[in-house]
Amino acid sequence: MEQALDILDRALRGDSGALSFLERTASIYVLNYNAEGKHTTYGCWDFMNQALNEIERFENDAARAGYIASTHIEPHVQLLCTMCQRAARRGPETDRRLIGTCLLNAGIDLSRIVGAQELVDFNCQMRERVMGRLATSAFDFSYHNLCTSHSVFSHPLTMEKLCGVLAANVIASGPSSLRMFAIEWIIPSATSMPPFSVVAIILHIGNEGLSNTVPVGTGKMLSNLSKPFVAQVVGPILADALRESDNSEMGNGVIGQMSSSDRNNFNHKLSALALRSLERWCTAVDMRVNELQEMCAESKFNIIEVISDALYSNAEVVVDAVADLIETVLGKKMQSVIALEKSFQAAPLQLSTNPEQAMNDEILARDEILTELISAIGLQRFRFVGRQTIGMKL
């Protein structure tokens, strides 16, 4: 293995020196001092770019030798993504300050040394280059072909980690970058990009948005993006994945060279990922089940019906994910109603809505939704009668 992959390999084996190197590389920058004045800095983005080059060469060598590279370096790439995601949680401005600190510690004054500012700018360009390479891999359809692709990036866990890095970078870059990423890229192109990556990106954006260190205004931007992300992107992808899994179970799911079982397994993973994405997003913006239903209804999409369909799944990963989603959206306290009641007590003449009536309406809506979901759970016993009979005989 080459240098970067060798360091990752030794870190996976518990080598303290390699682990320390990765820890420091993700946290600080070091200066490579040159007597001629041609200084360079080295940090996470330089290491990531070097590692991606080595991974490409490793896969090319493996293809020529006739073996599958992914079986050898999947853990290495996943560790690399974990390290990169940690660094991506620093915003670009924080990165600039870290490089400035590195140069000042070396006695280089940014205002006096010619080329010092170029070192800072070059790091920002390297960060953008790495993110561009990761985005290209995450949204490359060839990596999502379960039959023909043997790349390390084809592994679902690796792909999800790639999307986690991109999401961390978008959140750390601020609300304006998040809005541009969503409005100009994800939302208009959602139907023309791999659905697994689209859903994974949205999941991790919601997850990163829960951090206490996000830039100011991120929470408001997440709320503004809830309708297009949830009702127009994640919801339809979830409905399609559940429908495709049903077709595969009936033997109608062969697509290309993919067998029904392989396709069904993929759709189960996609369904579970979409449900996890909904759960994380509802947690991030504090969305209750009736709000989720109303928002999706405005886009003419029945999310409760889709959740009920998920309850019929015979895949454990889907049932676990939908259970987490239901627990989140039904377990939300009615904070908005409580806030409304406090406002009514403070200024009753300024409110046109009775807090008690608002609370009763919300409870009624929740009860109706809960009744529908309970009915869906109860009907599962008819779906699994054959399985129960086999279990009793055993």
Closest CA to 122 of 232, 176, 46, 13: 46
Element (H, E) at 179: helix 175-181
Element (DSSP H or E) covering residue 42: strand 40-42
Using DSSP, state whether 59 is helix, strand or coil: helix
- Report the distance separating Cα 146 and Cα 262, nearest Å: 8
Query: What is residue 349's DSSP assignment?
Result: G
Q: Look up residue 19 and give its two tokens.
A: 């682990």
The 3-class secondary structure across 274-329, one letter per residue, is HHHHHHHHHHHHCCCHHHHHHHHHHCCCCHHHHHHHHHCCCCHHHHHHHHHHHHHH
Q: Rounded distance, CA 123 to CA 267, Å?
A: 40
Determine the Cα–Cα distance for residues 282 and 327; give it in Å rounded to an integer. Answer: 11
The pLDDT assigned to 265 comes to 84
pLDDT tens digits for range 382-394: 555 554 555 544 4
How far from 205 is each of 77, 89, 175, 178, 278, CA to CA, in Å?
21, 11, 12, 9, 11
Give percent above pLDDT 70 in the chain: 76
pLDDT score, position 392: 46
Strand-pairing partners, residue 105, are none
Q: What is the mean pLDDT of the chain?
A: 83
More confident residue, 32 or 54: 54
pLDDT at position 102, please? 86
Read off the amino acid at residue 219. Answer: G
Q: What 3-state DSSP class applies to 334?
A: coil
Length of the chain measured in residues: 394
Contacts of residue 392, defined as CB under 8 A and 6 or more positions apart, other chains included, come to none
For residues 328 and 287, give the distance between their C-alpha atoms in angstroms, rounded to a whole number: 9
Which of left, alpha, beta for 85 (phi over 0: left; psi -120 to 50: alpha)?
A: alpha
**CA distance readout (Å), 158 to 161, 313, 357:** 5, 25, 49
| Model confidence band, residue 251 (pLDDT cutoffs 50, 70, 90) | very low
* DSSP-based three-state secondary structure for 129: helix
Q: Helix 195-208 crosses helix 260-285 at what angle (to 10 degrees)?
A: 30
CA dist., res. 302 & res. 166, Å (int): 30
Please list, residue by residue across 116-126, b when 16 or more beta carbons sit within 10 angstroms of its beta carbon and e when fewer do. beebbebbeeb
User: Which pTM was predicted?
Assistant: 0.84
Across-strand partners of 32?
Answer: 40
Question: What does the pLDDT look like over 319-364, one tens digit per residue?
Answer: 899 989 988 888 755 444 455 455 545 555 454 556 666 666 666 7
In this prediction, residue 336 carries a pLDDT of 47
3-state SS assignment for residue 81: helix
pLDDT tier, 255 (very low <50, low <70, confident <90, very high otherwise): very low
Count Cβ neighbours within 10 Å for each residue of 213-232 and write b for 16 or more, e otherwise. ebbeebbebbebbbebbbbb
- Which long-range contacts does 385-391 make (Cβ < 8 Å, 24+ apart)? none
pLDDT of residue 19: 96
User: In which element (H, E) is residue 32 found?
Assistant: strand 30-32
Which pLDDT does position 193 carry in this prediction? 94
As a whole number, mean pLDDT of residues 287-295 equals 87
Q: Could you tell me what percent of the chain has a pLDDT over 90? A: 49
- Of residues 85 and 367, more confidence is placed in 85
Q: Residue 234: helix, strand or coil by DSSP?
A: helix
Look at residue 362 in the predicted model and tell me its pLDDT. Answer: 66
